[in-house]
């Protein structure tokens, strides 16, 4: 291997590590926000805090997905592992031809659930990681339920749309845990794939294997978590129902 090759590998590894650090910091900051909000609603059932918790979870997910795609774009361009279509989609653009025959671009927004699938896939793809996002379990189902709650809060049509039930809080918590652990698992798989292809110490691979094993165990527990209450039948005592009871209405 020529010296220029050694320099390229060293620069690439350093660049990848810097991107991992940025991703980790993003996950820690937004993850702590979610944790703190969740603790608040354990002792205070005010709907304002429940809505804030749901929003904080989706801010975490959106932030992580963005950083994963930017990392994939930056390093994928260097390695040539992304297709032109993938690069364009990560940049959030679509193209068309106008009446003058000129190429025009406009923003393109990927649907939320599809964005999760896409972000994890391209992030894994940059170094040929074997990580696959499992969409057949309870975590993915709870995420789909949490999305419905988020959408309802973002586009309310009635005051009742602003209420978040106990079961919806629980579903959102499971969704957060599922995304958080999968992000950690995917990142460790990516780091492992990168280390194997570049000069490394055996203990580095062993440490990553231990992290992967621990995260896979955590993911298994999340997938086995069942809701204590039904998402469709449980209703909270809202401000409107309390007022009705005080006025003597049943």
List, for residues 33-46, the tens digit of each pLDDT value.
Answer: 999 999 999 999 89
Per-residue pLDDT tens for 41-85? 999 989 999 999 999 999 999 999 999 999 999 888 888 899 999
Cα separation, 58 vs 30, in Å, equals 10
Which pTM was predicted? Answer: 0.84
| For residue 237, pLDDT beyond 60 | no
Q: What is the DSSP letter of 95?
A: E
pLDDT of residue 6: 67
Please give the residue that has the higher pLDDT: either 160 or 22.
160
| For residue 91, pLDDT beyond 80 | yes
Q: Where are the domains of the chain?
A: 12-231
Mean pLDDT of 116-134: 95
Region of residue 248 (phi > 0: left; psi between -120 and 50: alpha; otherwise: beta): left
| For residue 107, pLDDT beyond 80 | yes
| For residue 234, pLDDT beyond 60 | no
What's phi and psi for 94, nearest 5 deg?
Answer: -135, 160
Q: Which of 29, 55, 200, 23 is nearest to 120 (CA)?
A: 23
């Amino acid at each position: 291997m020529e010296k220029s090759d050694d320099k390229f590998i060293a620069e690439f590894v350093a660049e990848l590590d810097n991107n991992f650090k940025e991703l980790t910091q993003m996950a820690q900051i937004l993850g702590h926000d979610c944790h703190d909000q969740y603790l608040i609603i354990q002792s205070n059932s005010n709907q304002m805090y429940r809505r804030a918790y749901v929003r904080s979870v989706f801010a975490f997910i959106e932030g992580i997905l963005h950083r994963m795609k930017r990392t994939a774009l930056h390093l994928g361009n260097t390695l040539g592992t992304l297709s032109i279509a993938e690069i364009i989609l990560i940049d959030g653009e679509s193209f068309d031809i106008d009446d003058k025959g000129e190429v025009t671009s406009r923003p393109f927004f990927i649907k939320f659930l599809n964005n999760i699938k896409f972000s994890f896939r391209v992030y894994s793809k940059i170094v040929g990681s074997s990580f696959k996002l499992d969409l057949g379990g309870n975590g993915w189902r709870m995420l789909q339920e949490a999305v419905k709650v988020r959408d309802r809060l973002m586009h309310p049509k009635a005051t009742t749309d602003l209420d978040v039930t106990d079961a919806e809080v629980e579903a959102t918590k499971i969704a957060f845990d599922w995304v958080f652990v999968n992000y950690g698992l995917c990142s460790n798989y990516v780091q492992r794939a990168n280390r194997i292809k570049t000069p490394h110490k055996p203990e580095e691979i062993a440490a990553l294997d231990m992290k992967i094993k621990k995260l896979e165990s955590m993911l298994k527990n999340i997938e086995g978590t069942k809701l204590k209450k039904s998402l469709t039948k449980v209703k909270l005592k809202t401000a409107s129902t309390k007022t009705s009871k005080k006025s003597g209405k049943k």
